[in-house]
Structure formats: structure tokens, C-alpha cells
Chain A
Amino acid sequence: MAEHTLEIALAVGVLTPLFSFWALVFFGPKLGKPAAGWFGVVFGMGVPLACATYVLFGWLGAMEAGESAALTANAWRGTWAVLGDVPITIGVKLDSLTVAMYFMVTFIAFWIFFFSVGYMQGHSDEVAGQRKYWRFFAYLSLFGFSMLGLVVSSNLVFLFIFWELVGLCSYLLIGFYFDKPVPQHAQMKAFITNRVGDFGFLIGLMLVYFHLGTTDLDEAAAVFAQQAAAGTGIFASHFTMFGWSLATIMGVGLFCGAMGKSAQFPLHVWLPDAMAGPTPVSALIHAATMVAAGVYLVARVFRLMTPDALMFVSLIGCLTLTLMALIAVVQTDIKKCLAYSTLSQLGYMIFGLGSGAWIAALFHLITHAFFKAMMFLGSGQVIEGCHHEQDMRKMGGLWKKMPVTCITFLVGVLAIAGTGIPGTQIGLGGFFSKDEILAVSYARAFEWDDASKFEESGHGEGHGGEHADVSPPTKRVMLASDPVQHGDDHAQPTHAVLEAESHGAVGAASIFAYTPKLPKWMFYLALFTAYITPFYMMRAWWLTFMGKPRDDHVYEHAHESPMMYIPLAVLAVGTVFASYSLFRPLIADASIVGSAAPLVMAMAGDSHSHAPAIHVAHDFLKVGVGGAFLVGFLLAIAIYRNGLGLGEKLKRAFGPIHTLLDNKYYIDELYDLVFVKGFVLIANIARFVDTWIVDLLVNLFAAAAERFAAFCGLILDTHGVDGIVNGVAKSSRDFGHVVRLPQTGRVRHYVLAATGVATIVFLCVLWASREASDVALAAVSASLGN
């Protein structure tokens, strides 16, 4: 293969949507209704998809030939700018993760573009000709550009740039129905909440730049590992905050960005509101791709994260996945229900990354993207068919009218619930990914400190063999002198690790040793949620498609159209395939490529073994996790089999809890009170201070100066205390009359006073620093005297 072919293909795929965007901006109005859409489909995503396919096969070939590592290492990069002494490179990150993400994004986006061609015809051009059809595709194309750019960026700075750009597209697309008040509110909320996250991202980025001296992902990771080993650079700092070392703060800062974009608790508030945007947007941006960018970011900067930072990641992920799943249980709006389920699943991914299930989390990202995009499109189909009705309580029995939608939606439900046969390799999406996340977190919570057991389970893999000689007591010693846990003596503690590294034996065992144990409650919460997920998904499906129609008006209008169900079917097939063949090896490979950083090896060490193996290994998990979907499904069916009756009873029985969940724990209200109202109050205070204090001081000073001038003028001038002053004042007054500034005679006073005061002040100053005045006076006297 010629040099850089794959990079060029990736770059072409990134740039074509940009071309499509500009073309639509300039010529969109002329193209007309369906044509602009088709243009977007072909250039906005068709070409990238072709590129992605080409790259995928090229990459698989390279992997087979064993050339992939060399390709990654020699991927193209150039200099964009030099900041101080640090060059900011622009380049293509070429590895399995990029290839997998790139293909996933283009594939899903292509079908969503396709879906939108039909869907948006009925949703645009409604108000004064302003809600333009072409504009939607222009925005979508811009999103394609930004998202693909994000995926291929090899440098954190560029990642950040594209990161902001996807945020912009999200902002624009949420507000697409700009004449309605709700989307506008949601639009602003999304942008600003993301900004809050980006604040952390930026701080993290600065720390990376400053302490690691590079923003290139690979180099930064290499430097980080080196510094960790030697206790230099960022690890030499004695700075701590909340008990975190500086290195941890860097990781947490970067993760804050992910919290914003992937809508993690407590920055999750924007995502449910963002559903006010058009449904294809919800599917593409707010379910499949952009919200996953946060997870992608964490995966990319995983090597820059200390164990403490990862513990924070786990904590946030765990809270998100549980809290959001509970809200999803009580949602009645079909899109909101899906939105909360998305939040919960993103929480799973983040939790997985935090607990070290790198592969599983990313695998979950990809399978989730497929089925969630499909389910959102399905919901769009339902909403469209039911005359913009989104309330599931008014649906029911739609399977007769919408068979394809019903079946594809069910595939999604099965996949998200992790349906499969425990102990075998038969299952869908979540069966592999989510269960593996749980298995790894189980290992982290219960097993890793049991040294002998760990060596049994962890050392079965390739990496383990190299350091089998590290005996458990050594690991304990390293734990005791852990740099992060004991902030005071962190110059020394990594010594043991350094030794290990210098012997080339860095790996799972040694670093796992100072990785803190995962609290057990986190595992239990994640496990508990594994039961909730099938419940609320089955509830949504059942309420929508099964049972008896609850609203005749809605039911009568229900229909589905081929233009829209083709993408559904394709994505359903994709879900099944994604669960199996393609992505798993790619991501596993990515993890191996990235394993140069010791932390990755440590964290991913356990997940190098395949999930089913763990299923076998732990009977408890096999039953507890593998069977969860069945429990959830049966419970949901049992409750909603006969319509809403039983559900209503339960709602009354759990009154206060239901209210709490229905109001989303009152977080929105809290934020409104603290941040919006609070800040407006502070802002008003600022305005008040500005007008009545700062400006008043200025005016008072002016008035005082004026009085002073009047005093000089009246007393000194009239009484002639000093003839010279008299003369000067007089002449300046005359002069003032000549150049009298327009509108007011006071100006002259002002100027005189200001000059006078200034001169006096300055003379005082000169007097104070004698030397200076001596010099000045000497100079004057020299020139006058000689």
C-alpha cells in the first residue's frame, strides 16, 4: 500500500462533508426540497462512508499482514502552529479505534441522513419560509465534518477544536425549530452546560501542555508514563486539591469535558431537553455519535489518567447510570424515555472505562450507537405516524400499523437489555459489552486485592507472563507507598514501578497494584441497573406497540413509510452484526496498540480475556447478570400487559418516590435557583456596583477636581496670592476661551483640574523617589545653569 493512503482516505472523508456544507449554504436554496437532501446524503455522508469502507478493509488487511503498528506510528502529521517552544501538530490518528469509530459514525450517519430526506420534508418550511430544508442538511454536513475530524485527530488541541465544533452543530440543530420557545431554551442550555465541561477540558489541556510539553496524544502518553516512573514533571508537584495530586487533576479536568459532552451527572441536564430538536438529530447526535464523543475522549486520554482520576470517572459513571435509569422508568414521553436510557448507557460506558474495562466500554459504545440510533429513528417514525404524539400512554397496539418499526425496535430493546444465553456466545450487543463491564468491575471490586486469585485470572493472558516473578508481597509494598494515596512522599514511591519499568516489565500486575479497589457499592448499583434497563425498555416497547390502542385518534393515523423504515431495517441488521463479527477484534486490537502506557495494560489487563470466559469463571455473574434481562422483561410485561391500570396503582403506591423521579430529582430546579437566578443576582449586583460605585467614584473625583479648580481660580486668582499663578491662571483661562470645547464651559475646568492634579501627584511621586527627582532637577539645572 502506498504511503499515507489510508490517511488520505480518512482526510477526504472528513473534508467532503465540509464541502457539502458550503455547497448547501451557497446553492442549497436553488436545489429545492428533496434535491438538497439527496445532495447531503451523497456528499455529506455517502463519500465519507465509501472512504470509511475503504479504510476499514485496508486496515483489516494491514492488521492481517502485521503492518498496522507501523502504519499507526508513521501516520501523517504536520505542524499547525508553534506555541512557545511546543509545536502543535495537525495529524491523523490511525489506529483500530479510529477506524472502528470512523466506520461506525459514517455508517450510522449515512442512514440517518437518508431517513432525514423523507422525515424533514414534513418538518421544514413552516414559518415564513425560514425553517429551511437545505439548512438542516447543511448543519448535518457540518456535523459530519466535525465529528469525523474529532475521531481522526491525533492532537488534543485539534480534538478540542472539533469537540467545540460538534457542540456548535448540536446547538444549531437543537434550535432548528427556532420559532418555538422550548428548543431555544434547550439550545442555550446545551451549549452552556457543555461550556462548563469544556472549562475543565481546557484546564486539563493546559496542564498537559505545561507539564508534559506536548499535546500529541501518543507523545503525551509516553511522557506521562515516563514521568510517572521517574517521579518528575507533573508527578514532582506538591500541589494538591481535594486530596488529588496534580496528575489526577489533569485527568479529572479532561474528564470534565467528557462529562459535558457525554452528559454525565451532574452535567446531564441538557441532554433530555435537547430532544426538542428534530428526531434525526436526536438519533445521530444525541444518541449515537456526539454524546459518545465524551467516552471516546476518555478512551483516548485513558493513558493520562491516574488511578485516582479513574476512580472519579467510575464514580460519575456509576451515579449517572443508576440515577438516569431510574428516571427512565417513570418517563411517559417516548423520546425522553430513550434519552434517559441513553444517559444511563453512557454512564455504563464511563463506568466501564473508569473501572478498567476499556475494551468492553468501547464495544458498548459502538453497539449502543447502532441500536440507539435505530430506536430513535423508530420513535421518530412512531411520532411522525401518530401525528406528533409523543406520549406513550396514548399509543398502544401499533404493531399492526407499523410492523417493521415494531420489530426493529424490539431488536433494539433486546440488544440494550443484554439478551443472550448465558454461558454461550449467542446474544445481542449488551450481552457482551455490558456484562463484560460488570465482570471487570466485579473483578476490581472483589478480586484484585486477593493476590493469588488475581494471578490466576489475570495472568492467563499474554502480558501476564512477563512479570509473573512479581510476588504479591512486592505489590503490597508498592501499594503502601502509592504516590497518589500518600501525597507527602511522592518523590520516592514510584521507585518500585520505575524499577519494573527499567526492566521492561511494566504491566498489569505492577500497576494494578497501586490501583485503588473499586467500592463494592458501585458494582452493586451497576448490577442493580442491569435489571432496571430491560424493565424500562420493555415497558416503552410494550406501551407503544403492544396491548390495545388507547387513543383512537392516534391509532387511526398511524402508518409507516418505506423511505423511513429502510434505515431502520439496515440499522437493526447492523446491530446484530456489530454484536458479533467486526468491531470486537478491532477494538481489542486498539487496546493492544495503546497498551504502551502502563495504565492501559493495568486497567485493561483483565479485559484482555474475553467476556464469556468471565461468565464461566464466575457463577454468580453468570446467573446474576446473564439472567437480568429476563427478570426485567417479565416484570415489565407483567405490569403493563393489561394497559396502564397496574402501573397507575404502583405509581400511587410509590407516590413520593414517583414524584421525585418524575421531577428528575429536582436538579433542574436546583440549577435554576443556584446558577441562573444566583448568577443573575450577582450580575445585577455587578451592574449596580458599576453604576453606583465605580462610576460614582469617577464622577466624584471629577467633581472634586472641579471644586479644586474653582478654589484655585477664585481664591488664588482674585486675591492674587501669587502673581505668577495669577498670570498662569489668567492666560490659561484666556486660552481656554479660545479653544473652548463645545457644549459646556466646564470642560476647561476639568482639563485644568485634571492636569493640575496629575502634575501635583507626579511631583509628589518624584519627591518620594529622591534620586529620580534629583536626576530630573539636575538635568534641568544643568541645562538652565550652564
Chain B
Amino acid sequence: MGVLTLLIILPIAGVVLLLIPPYGNPAGVKRVALLTSVITAGIAVWALVQFYQQEPGRVRDDLSYVLEEDHSWLSSETFTTRLLNGTLGEIPAIDIRYHVGVDGISIWMIALSAFLMPLAIWGSFSAVRERLREYYCLLLLLQAGLMGVFCAMDLLLFYVCFEFTLIPLYFLIGIWGGPDRRRAANKFFIYTLAGSVLTFAGLIFLAFFSYDQLGHLTLDIEELTQLGQTGILGFDHQWWLFLAFAAGFAIKVPLFPFHTWLPLAHTEAPTAGSVILAGVLLKLGTYGFCRLSIPMFPDATFFFAPAIATLAIIGIIYAALAAWVQTDVKKLVAYSSVSHLGFCMLGLFSLKVAGVSGGVIYMINHGLSTAALFLVIGCMYERYHTRDIRKIGGLAKQMPIMAFFLVFFTLCSIGLPGLNGFVGEFLVLLGTATSSTMKDGLSSGPLGFSYVIPAALGIILGAVYMLWMCRCVLFGPLNEPPNTPDTSAGLTKDLTRREIGILTPIAIACVVLGVYPKPMLDTFEVATRDHVLRTPYISDQPDESSEELGLIIPGDQASVADAFFAKQFGGDSQ
């Protein structure tokens, strides 16, 4: 059994283990759940190490994945085959496989979900006080589903896991959520399902198409991508397929105007639910775009990129404005997610290496900082039982440690350089700016500078609403609801050691990624070049600027400049 399969199976094993002991042992349940998720995280680290050992280098057109496992799953020898075939003699090769593998993008998404899950579980220890077993079982199931999505190299496996993640979260919101949890859960479930049904229709079409073209019915992502890349899957098919896939993913992201389920779901979800929802689940949409839509339907992607980018930008500004006037802190952060995911989409659809890498690193960064914000807000909510900005204020006096974390993650979220948010934001804008037809008249990208300006406006607004939130909650005269803070269940006035222990790793990760993102960016770049942007005309042209640079240097500066260029572009002599 490979390491990736282990990642999927381990949480399920944890669920089985949780179901074995008799009722009435909350401590044991918590321990098992936490331990399972920690071991999973450990396996993920192991996978990461293996990945770095095996990483297929910076070779273009090397399309291999790492840590691959490939087994027959739904093959032609089954009943299904005979039914479809009609005859017993000829065997149509229905070839749906259990195929898992990772590249530079998915390995980090796996790492992110493996990193956040133990923290989410640990963070639930005091907040969740009933139906513990079911709760932790569902969280672990969710974990298994997420791992499956990020590992999947077969479209059907991807889709199954993609849909499967809905179920645990549906129950998490519906059972342990806030007062309006039922509506929120239903809306979340149906809305996202409605979108992905269209994706499923697209999937079925692809299955038949591959059968027609390749002679065997396959849903292997790599093979389907080849169909799209080689032009066998023509533009008029791609067009509709792109839309069908986008329907599922855009709702998940959520892209404006399909976002209305998100604030509701976030407000009602329990803290751990919000953490996983914002931290990982939303990224399934963006991940779907960059793993499936962009490489499989390159022509359609190029065609639709301006439209998607426009929606993304509308989302950035619109959601930022809407966030500004929210009174519920959690809703405010939820809207900020919509705004931030707009940046992510913008980066992906810049179709430039910098932009896509930026979009992907934005996924990771948003996952960290927003998850942490939800955790901090959760801590506050447990003590004050309200998230209404008008009812609380000046908490910096009562809870200096919480104030520190809230300000810190706010700064991450608004993209302060030196912290993680900045890297993604910057790269996204850079990618968008360079993705234009201006340079030398070459059609090197669908977007351009006109997309950067409104997006950059969103950065200003981002600072406005987040700082506004901080100011209302933390500073000014103390304002507490009566009979608070609630210090039952082992809580203290300020954060407990457990809570500090949950937030500190995220804070460290934020700083590390902000200061030195290179190791991560390198893998993204390779993955982007090899797997996301394959078609020559949408990926980067070899940049000639380095040659241009060396041409004419006026006067006595030539030697100075030459020295620089030798350092920059001469490469290995240093």
C-alpha cells in the first residue's frame, strides 16, 4: 500500500476505531480522533519528504506524477461491461482505475489539509460538548474525502471524493451548527450539489468521448488531458465541457454570483466546520479548475478567462464591500473569503506561470490565515456567546493574547509583506499584469493591466474591513455582554494553553511561508509548467528580455551592468 492510499485509509481506520468503544468516554473519543489526525499529518509529512526526494526536476514536458499507484477499479470484466456491451464476445475496455498520484500542487494541498485537521479537532475539544463520537467520526471522514480529492488521478475517483466531502460537512453544519443551521446546511448541500451534477454530466460525456476516440472507456485525468491538449477534443466540445465543469467548481470556490451559500454556511457552522470549509473545502473548487478545467480544455479556458476573471474581480470588490458592513464577525470573514478566492481565481486564469503559482500559493495562504481567523473567532465566541461587533469591544484589555493572534492573522489576511498573504497576492497581480497582449504584440495571455487595477483596489478595501473588525473587537472601551466571559469547560479569561498551542503552529507557518516561500514556489512552478499550462500558446513564451537586457548599455556603466547581468543570467559561475 502506497503512502497516498494510507493517507486516505488512515482517517477511515480512525472512524472504525471510534465506533468500537462503548458510549460514555468523551476523553477517549477525543484522544483517538486527535491521534488519528496527527498520525495522518505525520504520514503527510512523510509523503512530502518522499515527494521532494522524487520530484521529477525542472524538466519541461516531463508529465509524470510522483508516488503513483494505479489499480484496476471498474474494469471491463464486470457486469457493467456486459450490460453496456450487449455481447459477451467483444470486450469493450472500460477502464476506470483507482489511480492516485501527486504533483507539486496537490502535495501541498494534502499537506494543508493534513495540517489543519488536527488543529480543527483539537480546537473542538471545549466547543463541542454533545454527540462527540459522531462529530469526530464525521471530521475524520471529511479528512479522508479531502485526501482522496487531492490524490485522485482518475476523474471518477476525483468526483466521488469531491461529492463525498459534502456529506460529513452537511451533518457537521446541520447538527452542531448555530440557530439557523438547518437552512444553512440544506442550502450548502443542494447548491453545491446542483452545480456538481453538471460536472457529472460533463464527466459522462468525457467518458464516452474517450471511448470513441481511444477505444477504451477511460477517465484517467492524464489521458483526458492529452485529448484536450492534442486538439482531439475540439473547441466546440471544450466550450460546453468547460462550462459544465465550471458550474460545479465555481459554486464551490465560490465565484461571484454563486457565493450566497457561503456566508450562511460559515455563520452557522461550528468552528471546526468553518475551519475546514474555509481552509480546505473551498480550495476544491480552485483545485478543480487548475487540475481539470485548465489543462483539459485549454482553448475554452483561454476563451473564458476574461469572463471568469471579470467575475473574480467583481467578487473581490463586491464581497469586500459587503464584508465591511457586516455586524457578525464570522460573516465578515466569510465575505472576506469570497473576496480572497476572487484573487485566487484571477491568478489561475491569468494563465501565466507566476499567476497560477500565485493562485495556488494563495490557496495555501488563505487556508492558513482564514482558518486561523475562524479559530480565533471561535475562541471568542466560546467565551462571549456572541459574534456581534456591536455587542463586544475593547477585548484587547481582557484578552491580550487573543488580541495578538487576531491582529497577526488579520495582517496575514490583508497581505502584509513578510507574512504569507503577500506572496500570493503579489504573484497573482504580477501574473495578471503580465498576462496581456501588450508585450511585443505577442498574444501571451488573456488578461492584462486593466484587470490589475480593480483587483489592487480590492487590496485597499481588504485592509479597511479587516482593520475595522479588529478595531471594533479589540480596541476602544471594554464592552462585554452580561454574564461573560463564560469560563466553563476549562476556559480561562484569555486563551488557554491549548488554544495557544493550536494557533501558534499556524502563526509560525504564516511567517515561514511569508519570508521564504521559495521551496514551495519551486514545486508550484514545476507543476504549473508541466501540468497546468501545457499548451504552448497559453504558457509563457521563453522570455527574450534577458537577451534584450544585454544589448546596449550606455557609456561607462556597461561594465557595472555587465557584472549584474553576469550574476543574474550567467547562472552557475556564482
Contact B475 A165 (CB under 8 A): no
Question: DSSP class of B's interface residues: helix, strand, loop or mixed?
Answer: helix
- Shortest distance from the beta carbon of A303 to any chain B beta carbon, whole Å: 11
Contacts of B197 in A (CB 8 A): 754-755, 758-759
B543 contacts which of A84, A203, A786 (Cβ < 8 Å)? Answer: A84
Binds A, one of B22-30, B147-155, B552-560: B552-560
Binds B, one of A57-65, A205-213, A316-324, A638-646: A205-213
Q: Is A199 an interface residue (CB 8 A)?
A: yes
B476 contacts which of A89, A181, A784 (Cβ < 8 Å)? Answer: A181
With A161-B422, A179-B475 known to touch, is A747 a contact of B190 (CB < 8 Å)?
yes
B433 contacts which of A130, A209, A501 (Cβ < 8 Å)? Answer: A209
Complex Cα distance, B208 from A778, in Å, reads: 9
Q: Is A561 an interface residue (CB 8 A)?
A: no
- Shortest distance from the beta carbon of B388 to any chain A beta carbon, whole Å: 15
Contacts of B457 in A (CB 8 A): 199
B240 contacts which of A130, A160, A765, A775 (Cβ < 8 Å)? Answer: A765
Contact B456 A168 (CB under 8 A): no
Task: Tell me the nearest residue of chain B to A78, going by C-beta.
Answer: B574
Q: Is B568 an interface residue (CB 8 A)?
A: yes
Q: Is A128 an interface residue (CB 8 A)?
A: yes
B205 contacts which of A161, A163, A766 (Cβ < 8 Å)? Answer: A766
Contact B417 A130 (CB under 8 A): no
- Shortest distance from the beta carbon of A44 to any chain B beta carbon, whole Å: 18
Complex Cα distance, B324 from A195, in Å, reads: 16
Q: Is A285 an interface residue (CB 8 A)?
A: no
Complex Cα distance, B83 from A784, in Å, reads: 8
Contacts of A202 in B (CB 8 A): 426, 429, 456, 459
Contact B553 A222 (CB under 8 A): yes
Most buried by B among A202, A679, A786: A202
- Shortest distance from the beta carbon of B246 to any chain A beta carbon, whole Å: 13
Contact A188 B467 (CB under 8 A): yes
B260 contacts which of A89, A128, A695, A762 (Cβ < 8 Å)? Answer: A695
Contact A192 B464 (CB under 8 A): yes
Task: Tell me the nearest residue of chain B to A215, going by C-beta.
Answer: B430
Q: Is B385 an interface residue (CB 8 A)?
A: no
A84 contacts which of B261, B354, B394 (Cβ < 8 Å)? Answer: B354
Q: Is A783 an interface residue (CB 8 A)?
A: yes
Contacts of B321 in A (CB 8 A): 679, 682-683, 686-687
Q: Is B71 an interface residue (CB 8 A)?
A: no
Most buried by B among A89, A195, A506, A755: A195
Contact A164 B416 (CB under 8 A): yes
Contacts of A81 in B (CB 8 A): 517-518, 521
Complex Cα distance, B92 from A83, in Å, reads: 47
- Shortest distance from the beta carbon of B416 to any chain A beta carbon, whole Å: 6
Segment 733-763 of A: residues with Cβ below 8 Å from B = 741-744, 746-747, 750-751, 754-755, 757-759, 761-762
Segment 384-405 of B: residues with Cβ below 8 Å from A = 394, 396-397, 400
With A199-B457, A758-B198 known to touch, is A751 a contact of B325 (CB < 8 Å)?
no
Complex Cα distance, B189 from A178, in Å, reads: 43
Q: Is B411 an interface residue (CB 8 A)?
A: yes
Contact B260 A210 (CB under 8 A): no
Complex Cα distance, B205 from A778, in Å, reads: 12
Task: Tell me the nearest residue of chain B to A73, going by C-beta.
Answer: B560
Contact B459 A199 (CB under 8 A): yes
Query: Per-residue CB proximity of A686-700 to B under 8 Å, as 1/0?
Result: 110110001101100
Contact B546 A213 (CB under 8 A): yes
Contacts of A168 in B (CB 8 A): 411, 416
Question: DSSP class of A's interface residues: helix, strand, loop or mixed?
Answer: helix
B90 contacts which of A83, A203, A757, A786 (Cβ < 8 Å)? Answer: A786
Task: Tell me the nearest residue of chain A to B84, going by C-beta.
Answer: A783
Q: How large is the interface on B (under 10, 10 to 19, 20 to 34, 35 or more residues)?
A: 35 or more
B193 contacts which of A72, A210, A223, A751 (Cβ < 8 Å)? Answer: A751
Task: Tell me the nearest residue of chain A to B468, going by C-beta.
Answer: A188
Contact A226 B174 (CB under 8 A): no
Task: Tell me the nearest residue of chain B to A84, going by C-beta.
Answer: B354
Query: Per-residue CB proximity of A151-185 to B under 8 Å, as 1/0?
Result: 00000010011111100100000010011010010
- Shortest distance from the beta carbon of B476 to any chain A beta carbon, whole Å: 6
A80 contacts which of B90, B476, B518, B549 (Cβ < 8 Å)? Answer: B518
Contact B324 A776 (CB under 8 A): no
Contact B521 A744 (CB under 8 A): no
Complex Cα distance, B403 from A498, in Å, reads: 59
Contacts of A433 in B (CB 8 A): none
Contacts of A127 in B (CB 8 A): 397
Q: Is B186 an interface residue (CB 8 A)?
A: yes
Q: How large is the interface on A (under 10, 10 to 19, 20 to 34, 35 or more residues)?
A: 35 or more
Query: Per-residue CB proximity of B189-202 to A under 8 Å, as 1/0?
Result: 11101100110011
A184 contacts which of B190, B426, B476, B556 (Cβ < 8 Å)? Answer: B476
Q: Is B449 an interface residue (CB 8 A)?
A: yes
Segment 580-596 of A: residues with Cβ below 8 Å from B = 596
Q: Is A229 an interface residue (CB 8 A)?
A: yes
- Shortest distance from the beta carbon of A47 to any chain B beta carbon, whole Å: 21
Contact B554 A596 (CB under 8 A): yes
Complex Cα distance, B190 from A702, in Å, reads: 9
Q: Is B567 an interface residue (CB 8 A)?
A: yes
B244 contacts which of A85, A161, A741, A762 (Cβ < 8 Å)? Answer: A762
Contacts of B427 in A (CB 8 A): 83
Query: Per-residue CB proximity of B510-534 to A under 8 Å, as 1/0?
Result: 0000000110010001000000000
Task: Tell me the nearest residue of chain A to B205, going by C-beta.
Answer: A776
Contact B460 A199 (CB under 8 A): yes
Contact A165 B322 (CB under 8 A): no
With A74-B563, A213-B543 known to touch, is A191 a contact of B87 (CB < 8 Å)?
no
Contacts of B548 in A (CB 8 A): 213, 223, 232-233
Query: Per-residue CB proximity of B117-148 to A under 8 Å, as 1/0?
Result: 00000000000000000000000000000000
- Shortest distance from the beta carbon of B7 to any chain A beta carbon, whole Å: 28
Contact B434 A210 (CB under 8 A): yes
Query: Per-residue CB proximity of A603-645 to B under 8 Å, as 1/0?
Result: 0000000000000000000000000000000000000000000
Query: Per-residue CB proximity of B532-543 to A under 8 Å, as 1/0?
Result: 000000001011
Q: Is A656 an interface residue (CB 8 A)?
A: no
Q: Is B506 an interface residue (CB 8 A)?
A: no
- Shortest distance from the beta carbon of A146 to any chain B beta carbon, whole Å: 9
Task: Tell me the nearest residue of chain A to B239, going by C-beta.
Answer: A769
Q: Is B439 an interface residue (CB 8 A)?
A: yes
Complex Cα distance, B561 from A69, in Å, reads: 12
Query: Per-residue CB proximity of A109-149 to B under 8 Å, as 1/0?
Result: 00000000000000000011010000000000000000000
Q: Residues of A at under 8 Å CB distance from B?
A: 69, 72-74, 77, 80-87, 89, 127-128, 130, 157, 160-165, 168, 175, 178-179, 181, 184, 187-188, 191-192, 195-196, 198-199, 202-203, 206-207, 209-211, 213-214, 216, 218-219, 222-223, 225-226, 229-230, 232-233, 237, 239, 501-502, 504, 506, 596, 598, 679-680, 682-684, 686-687, 689-690, 694-695, 697-698, 702, 741-744, 746-747, 750-751, 754-755, 757-759, 761-762, 765-766, 768-769, 771-772, 775-776, 778-780, 782-786
Q: Nearest 10 A-B pairs (CB), nearest first?
A: A213-B545, A161-B417, A596-B557, A779-B208, A85-B543, A754-B194, A206-B433, A695-B260, A683-B321, A686-B321
Q: Residues of B at under 8 Å CB distance from A?
A: 84-87, 90, 92, 171, 174, 182, 185-187, 189-191, 193-194, 197-198, 201-202, 205, 208-209, 211-212, 234, 236-237, 239-240, 243-244, 257, 259-261, 318, 321-322, 324-326, 352-354, 394, 396-397, 400, 411, 416-418, 422, 426-427, 429-431, 433-434, 436, 438-439, 449, 452-453, 456-457, 459-460, 463-464, 467-468, 471, 474-477, 517-518, 521, 525, 540, 542-543, 545-546, 548-549, 551-557, 559-561, 563-565, 567-568
What are 10 contact pairs spanning A and B, CB under 8 A? A89-B568, A192-B467, A199-B457, A214-B568, A226-B551, A683-B321, A741-B186, A744-B182, A761-B198, A786-B86
Instruction: A687-B321, A765-B243 given; name 7 further pairs at CB < 8 Å.
Output: A86-B543, A178-B474, A195-B464, A211-B439, A214-B549, A501-B555, A758-B194
